[in-house]
Amino acid sequence: QSALTQPPSASGSPGQSVTISCTGTSSDVGGYDFVSWYQQHPGKAPKLMISEVSKRPSGVPDRFSGSKSGNTASLTVSGLQAEDEADYYCSSYADNNNVVFGGGTKLTVL
Amino acid sequence: QVQLVQSGADVKKPGASVKASCKTSGYTFTSYYMHWVRQAPGQGLEWMGIINPSDGSTRYVQKFQGRLTMTRDTSTSIVYMELSSLRSEDTAVYYCARSLTTTPLDYWGQGTLVTVSS
């Protein structure tokens, strides 16, 4: 299966909001409400930030939110903070019990 | 607390095999799937496949078919990933990560760096 499409970069100033998109197909993002978002700081393992399109695991700040429309999912980070600077990856369940990741988006806090 | 502790870095020659381990604790081993995800230097995450520790059943991404083997040891709560016929493009950090259903992957190991070099 092909990787999901994410913009390579995004940026915002502290306190602002930024939205990262993740586009797939009807075989993955559009067909299932199993989109997840992961945050990865340099040299660290990914951390789950959003599951099932919009659910926040315990401990994840409510500044992080997710949504989906058709074949495109989105991650919004509100009230940007310096520690939000990281790489963000979307992921989706895909047909035939597969998992697919996006190419990643580098979020820069200006 | 849930922990996934992976084996240390490894260096292999082209054509060789590598076997990485992922030792789990803090939860019921057979109740969660385990995935392997790799990340080449400076690149994104790539899902490789999944194993059900309960029955040992596996599913691999097509590109790894024939080279990839995932196994588990229920007596020690360890999952293994073996990749054979290594080439330089297999140089990457390999992560194990668990999930209750197929997704999401809620806990990740610290990663194992595998370097393939002659």
CA distance A105 to chain B (A): 9
The three-state (H, E, C) secondary structure of B19-39, written as one string: EEEEEEECCCHHHCEEEEEEE
CB contact at 8 A, B90 and B39: no
Residue range B79-112, pLDDT digits in tens: 999 999 999 999 999 999 999 988 899 999 999 9
B112-116 and B10-12 strand pairing: parallel
- Residues of chain A positioned with their CB less than 8 A from the CB of B106: 48, 51, 57
Name the band, by pLDDT with cuts 50, 70 and 90, for residue A1: low
Q: Which of B79, B39, B85 is nearest to B57 (CA)?
A: B79
Look-up: residue for tokens 């058709």?
A70
Return the pLDDT at A48.
Answer: 98
What residues form DSSP beta bridges with B92?
B114
Q: Tell me how far apart the terminal alpha carbons of chain A are, to the nearest angstrom.
A: 35
Residues on chain B bordering chain A, Cβ-to-Cβ distance under 8 angstroms: 35, 37, 44-47, 50, 59, 61, 95, 97, 102-106, 108-111
Return the pLDDT at A103.
Answer: 96
